[in-house]
Structure 1
Amino acid sequence: MPEVPNHVVFIPDGNRRWARMHGKPALEGHRVGIDKLREVAKWCRDAGVKTLTFWGFSLENFQRDKEEVNGLMRLFELKFDELKDHSDLHENKIRVRFFGRLHLLSEKLREKIAEVEKETESYTNYNLNILLAYGGRSELVDACNAAIADAKAGRIDEVNEESLGRYMYMKDLPEPDLIIRTSGEQRLSGILPWHSGYSELYFSRKLWPDFELSDFKAALMEYAERKRRFGR
């Protein structure tokens, strides 16, 4: 049997370009893109992927048109409210967690996030992680500041690689085996810099809303053919 990655990370890029190509507003592209997440999550479960991470909104995305950002936040509120009660989560025992500078989000959206996390916190079959208000450099800064504060308070003896790792957002989750980015862009944009040093990378030309099961299978096939040596 081909090796299946335990943890897959998606950078789901191309929603706005998809909307422009179809003569639709940007928010419609985001709506279609969010719906695609559910479809892709099922593909991952069917393939045997246990941990799945989506980058939903970066810190840099706050700099976009205010109307688009506000509309996307309202869309998140609606979709997370639906997610909380979705049968897929409860039937498959999927734990959902959100990571990033969540304090920058609205109180209402944070409440929706807390509800989803509370509803699924006891589940252990699968992990679904959503990065919101996330930046890789910001994660490192937050981790360093937390470690320095604990060191000053005498809670840790020193800050080293092992101790600093315990301050990362996803400290208790496996490191990503495969990172997939759609839309043809061939960069990571700073995602999970602490965890992704030995992740395999796959870049698809498809825009995220057009990403299909055959594209996902192609990524898995290429992953299975690679030899991972982890620097050894």
Structure 2
Amino acid sequence: MREWFGRQVRSGYERLLRREIEGVPTHVAVIQDGNRRYARQNGADAPDGHRAGAETTEQVLEWCQDLGVEELTLYAFSTENFDRPDEELEPLFDLLEGKLREFADADRVHENGVCIRALGDVERLPERVQDAVAYAEERTEGYDRFVLNVALAYGGRAELLSAARSVLSDVDAGALSPGEIDVETVEERLYERPVRDVDLIIRTGGDERTSNFLPWYANGNEAAVFFCAPYWPEFRQVDFLRAIRTYEHRQESWRTARARRALALLRATGSAELDEARNVLERFRDALPSSEREQLDPEEFDADERAAD
């Protein structure tokens, strides 16, 4: 009876959260932490925890597609994971190989146009996993309705270091001048294919850190971050919806802060030349509380007034 009642309450809460959500992030990145601790908690071995976590991964993919998220990145295997004992690594490599091939052949993947891609130093992985990566990418390379990135043998600092070395090499060779280095110069050296800026990072398992995950695309975009206590195999849809709500609140706060900064700059200088600040205020003035909007001088943000001046 208690279990049934708990399910009913959770289902009702999920419906409430869905009604509260008005917008969703384009790109969600997940640090799937807690598989081994979940296994120990249940008297099982680490491979059992990884298998349980793989089931959660499939559910999250469905939740993303249901809500309209366009890109999902999963931190499946970090460069630090190579330090784990062989008796844990070999079953994990078997699981990665099997799931990549299973996803590549799944009807739902092809029906929903899911493009599977690997991020990281894949060549460090066993050949059987590399073959599975190639198989999944080739089977889904023509799709563009949803992108599933699987971070394998991935380390954010190593990725940035490699890009920096590549840029320096081109500068030394005379193929690139320092003045030509811009955002695109770095991004084209990070990954073979474009990756959207990360809007939301989710980490399960209780730790509150992002662990060197997608620093260029997450930190640079000031992504919202949602930390939660459940181990990855215990992650539920209600947790996912809470994460989406965190993203929405972060966006609202960001819009309000931008509008306030632009307004403060205009009032502090009184200059008619600060078009950038005026444009920001025009874009985000609706994010200001109504009491602050009512106090605005129309000339502070009205484009027609600026043109007349």
TM over 0.5: yes
| Residue of structure 2 aligned with 1:21, choices 23, 41, 49 | 41
| Residue of structure 2 aligned with 1:165, choices 174, 187, 203 | 187
Query: Structure 1 counterpart of 2:146, which letter?
Result: Y
**More helix as a share of residues:** 2
In the other structure, the counterpart of 1:121 is 141
In the other structure, the counterpart of 1:228 is 254
1:77 aligns with 2:97: yes
Contact 1:165/1:171, CA 8 A, preserved across alignment? no
Matched residues in 2 for 1:55 and 1:230: separation?
32
Per-residue deviation at 1:166?
2.1
Structure 1 residues 113 and 231: alpha-carbon distance in aligned structure 2, compared to 1, 3 A threshold: farther
Per-residue deviation at 1:170?
7.0
Per-residue deviation at 1:231?
8.2
In the other structure, the counterpart of 1:108 is 128
Per-residue deviation at 1:184?
0.9
Contact 2:71/2:147, CA 8 A, preserved across alignment? yes
Structure 1 residues 96 and 188: alpha-carbon distance in aligned structure 2, compared to 1, 3 A threshold: same
Structure 2 gap ranges (5+): 1-20, 259-309
Structure 1 residues 147 and 18: alpha-carbon distance in aligned structure 2, compared to 1, 3 A threshold: same
In the other structure, the counterpart of 2:155 is 135
1:51 aligns with 2:66: no
1:186 aligns with 2:208: yes
| Residue of structure 1 aligned with 2:235, choices 206, 211, 214 | 211
Matched residues in 1 for 2:112 and 2:244: separation?
22
Contact 1:178/1:199, CA 8 A, preserved across alignment? yes
Using the TM superposition, name which of 176-185 and 66-75 deviates more: 66-75
SS of 2:89 mapped into structure 1: helix
Query: Structure 1 counterpart of 2:181, which letter?
Result: N
Matched residues in 2 for 1:168 and 1:142: separation?
8
Greater gyration radius = 2
Deviations 1:98-154 (A, max 9, x none): 010111011121111001001111101010000000111111111112222333444
Per-residue deviation at 1:229?
4.6
1:12 aligns with 2:36: no
Using the TM superposition, name which of 68-77 and 9-18 deviates more: 68-77
TM-score normalised according to structure 1 size: 0.94
Per-residue deviation at 1:168?
1.5
Structure 1 gap ranges (5+): none
Per-residue deviation at 1:212?
0.3
Matched residues in 2 for 1:77 and 1:190: separation?
24
| Residue of structure 1 aligned with 2:225, choices 196, 201, 222 | 201
Matched residues in 2 for 1:10 and 1:187: separation?
12
Contact 2:201/2:223, CA 8 A, preserved across alignment? yes
| Residue of structure 2 aligned with 1:96, choices 66, 91, 116 | 116
Matched residues in 2 for 1:183 and 1:230: separation?
31
SS of 1:33 mapped into structure 2: helix
Equivalent residue pairs, number: 232
Query: Structure 1 counterpart of 2:103, which letter?
Result: L
Deviations 1:49-96 (A, max 9, x none): 000000000010111111101111111111112111011210000111
In the other structure, the counterpart of 1:3 is 23
Percent identity reads 39
Matched residues in 2 for 1:186 and 1:32: separation?
22
Contact 1:105/1:133, CA 8 A, preserved across alignment? yes
Q: What RMSD in Å do the two structures reach over aligned CA positions? A: 1.7
In the other structure, the counterpart of 1:40 is 60
